[in-house]
Structure 1
Amino acid sequence: METQDTAEFDFLQSNPASTSGRSDAEQLKSALMNEKAAPEILQFETDLVGRIESNMDYQDEQIELLKENDDMKLVVEIFMSELSRIRYLLRAYLRVRLQKVERHVMYILDNADVAARLSGPESQFARDYFVLFGSHMKAMAANKLPEAFSSLVRQAAAHPTKDMVPAPSLDQHVFARVLEDRGNATVDEEGNVAEFNRGDLFVIRYRAVQQLVAEGAVELV
């Protein structure tokens, strides 16, 4: 088989849809690392996941065709191994996000901007999980307490804020690698400034690089 035929199977090649110069596989790995390291749930990578899922379906079909050729057994094994690696990364990415939904479901659903970061299936999962979680907590504890203290979101009904809704700590320290030159940027409430140049590595509060992570100028490691 000619090189131009087998090249279509290489997830490591840079995808034309990417403006970063990195392949979809590399972008997925970065998205997984960001999601693992960030204390909050990040924006779902809709376009990236869509491209990867479509590519995997296509490559599954092509691998089945190649299996008919005995001379391509080694090539098929290589392609299948690479496909398994991508599936593992994708499952890990989705699993980490669902774990965050479970951990901060009330916070997510209570903040429209954060809830908007979820995919459609994730949003449905969050709503279903909250209903089940709420029903369980009420049956096990809340319904046995006086009405003034039976809320799942407030320690007492008179409290003005939802002080029982756990929120992610944006002041958690993270390792951050700079992907794009951004010059000087304010990194704390005191107005201290740091210079962000491509390749720099920082140990820094997540809050300071939150927007840069969202823009793809910084990745977490």
Structure 2
Amino acid sequence: MASGAGDWSAEQIDDYETLISTTDVELLKRAWRNEKASPEILPFEEALVKRAKEQIQLMEETVDDFAESGHDPLIASLYQMDLDRAQFLLRSYLRVRLQKIEKFMFHIWKMDTYRNRLSIEEEKFTERCIRDIGKHLEETVVSKLPDNYQSVLKQSIISEEDDMVPEPQLDTFIVAKCERATRPLYLDGSRQSASFDSRNDHFQMVPGDLCILRYRPFQEELMSGNISLV
């Protein structure tokens, strides 16, 4: 930076503090929690990650300036704590996504819905993993099996589906917190339910509510930001 932190005016410091007190860190924390608790990979938060990287760069420059200018060590340490927290959240968010990709790579790659949720870098990583693991399995295992079983994705050639490909368990239970009032939620995931009495088969969440739910029927509410996962 052109000037040291010691030359900063009170207004400049206030502007910086306003910047780091924006909701991006909280949004990143929510994105990480959602990704960690969700059984499937969620859409990549591209804009949020970009803003987080820019804020981290600004905080790194500010901490360096404070250190060089001999500013109050306590203030510098507080800025360093903010920096460490932002870096931890960003790395944790990206790491949990990579873990899901490694676990469900074949399923993600064959489903356009999931492939469209990846960043460009994640898509390249997935393609490389599939190529490398497929080559490794073919050379070490598959090539030594009978002809009917020489598939990385199927148990045998008579299998109609890729029955050896792990898939996310969308009917698992999750703990959801309401962020915004939801529409009436039906237990079977539909907007209208014929299998239950209309007076008893649905409920509505209001901000602050916590519920234990099956994940599948409430994907739409999570994607829209009406609920977050705990």
* TM-score by shorter chain over 0.5: yes
Q: State the shift of 1:142 in Å.
A: 1.0
Identify the residue that residue 80 of structure 1 maps to in structure 2.
Answer: 80
Distance change (3 Å), C-alpha of 1:204 and 1:11: farther
Determine the C-alpha separation between the residues in 2 that align with 1:11 and 1:220.
Answer: 26
Encode CA deviations 1:133-175: one digit per residue, 9 max, x unaligned: 1112112221111222111111121222111111100000000
Give the distance between the partners of 1:71 and 1:129, measured in 2 at CA. Answer: 47
Distance, in Å, in 2 between the alignment partners of 1:10 and 1:73 is 21
Residue of structure 2 equivalent to 1:203 = 212
- How many equivalent pairs are there? 213
2:55: which partner in 1?
55
**Equivalent position SS for 1:71:** coil
- SS state of the match for residue 216, structure 1? coil
Conserved 8 A contact 2:180-2:206: yes
Match runs of 1:1-221 below 5 Å: 2-7=9-14, 8-9=16-17, 13-14=21-22, 23-188=23-188, 190=195, 192-221=201-230
Higher mean alpha-carbon deviation, 57-66 vs 118-127, is at 57-66
Change (3 A) 1:11 1:219: farther
Indicate conservation of the 8 Å contact 1:9/1:79, yes or no: no
CA distance in 1, matches of 2:217, 2:187: 5
**After superposition, what is the alpha-carbon deviation per residue over 1:185-210, rounded to whole angstroms, capped at 9, x for unaligned?**
22316463221211111100011221
C-alpha contact (below 8 Å) 1:44/1:117 kept by paired residues:
yes
Query: Structure 1 CA distance, aligned partners of 2:47 and 2:141?
Result: 43
Deviation at 1:63, TM superposition (A): 2.4
- What is the TM-score when the length of structure 2 is the normalising length? 0.86
Counterpart residue identity of residue 147, structure 1? D
Structure 1's 120 and 153: CA in aligned 2 closer, same or farther, altered over 3 A? Answer: same
* Stretches of structure 1 lacking an aligned partner (at least 5 in a row): 15-22
Unaligned runs of 5+ in 2: 1-7, 190-194
Deviates more, 1:173-182 or 1:159-168: 159-168
Which stretch shifts more, 159-168 or 45-54? 159-168
**TM-score relative to the length of structure 1:** 0.90
Cα distance in 1, alignment partners of residues 101 and 120 from structure 2: 13
CA distance in 1, matches of 2:165, 2:98: 18
User: Are the aligned partners of 2:182 and 2:221 in contact in 1 as well (CA < 8 Å)?
Assistant: no
Is this contact kept in 1: 2:179–2:225, CA < 8 A?
Answer: yes
